[in-house]
Amino acid sequence: TQLLEQSPQFLSIQEGENLTVYCNSSSVFSSLQWYRQEPGEGPVLLVTVVTGGEVKKLKRLTFQFGDARKDSSLHITAAQPGDTGLYLCAGGPGYALNFGKGTSLLVTP
Amino acid sequence: DAGVIQSPRHEVTEMGQEVTLRCKPISGHNSLFWYRQTMMRGLELLIYFNNNVPIDDSGMPEDRFSAKMPNASFSTLKIQPSEPRDSAVYFCASSSGTGPSPLHFGNGTRLTVT
């Protein structure tokens, strides 16, 4: 099993602050996906990164895949209360994904 | 598109009882996954199917757990007999299974075994 470690586990910030969360592994992944999960719902895909060093932007969210394809980061600029949720990274040898335990983000007004 | 549909949303049962969780994947998706989520262990892959055939069930914790996919539009996860440590949220997800395709999750079944 390819393990994914996410940090920090919990993050509480105020609206307008910037933050970065990390996803690390000792394994090489062909791709990594980031999901956001809200209470009472299933995870929803935010982005897939495929190429080492790749950077993808989704409005105020910036995702980066490490050059060695073992790690990834998610940076949120000017966080808003609507960004609150559990952020999960996922990867796998095929299309059966293993998930990290996630970073639980709380953004307060 | 209706998305992945799971039932029931909540299930409370007593230890020793049989529990059956149900899932209808997105039409046209050929891969189906069952995950379990707890605070301690996060999201764990239990089993996945491709074209209705079980491909990997190494994540199924014990023989008390079984899963079936009799056709492309329906799958079940059964626990018999249930135990308190089975309490968790169980998610079903489907994907088109080509390349790094996204998983589409249902809203889960929250299982409580007392």
Before A8, cis peptide (omega within 30)?
A: yes
Q: Tens digit of pLDDT for each residue in A70-91?
A: 999 999 999 999 999 999 999 9
Determine the average pLDDT of the residues in B20-48. 95
Q: Tens digit of pLDDT for each residue in A24-63?
A: 999 999 889 999 999 999 999 999 999 999 999 999 999 9
Residues in chain B closer than 8 A to A102 (CB atoms): 42
Under 8 Å CB-to-CB from A59, ≥6 apart: which residues?
none
How far is the C-alpha of A20 from the C-alpha of A22, rounded, in Å?
A: 7
Inter-chain touch A42–B45, beta carbons under 8 Å: no
Residue B110 in this model has a pLDDT that exceeds 90: yes
- For residue A10, count CB atoms less than 10 angstroms from its CB and return exposed for 0-12, middle for 13-18, buried for 19 or more: exposed
Which chain B residue is nearest to residue A41, measuring alpha carbons? B107
Which chain B residue is nearest to residue A30, measuring alpha carbons? B100
Smallest CA–CA separation between A6 and chain B, in Å? Answer: 11
Residue B30 in this model has a pLDDT that exceeds 70: yes
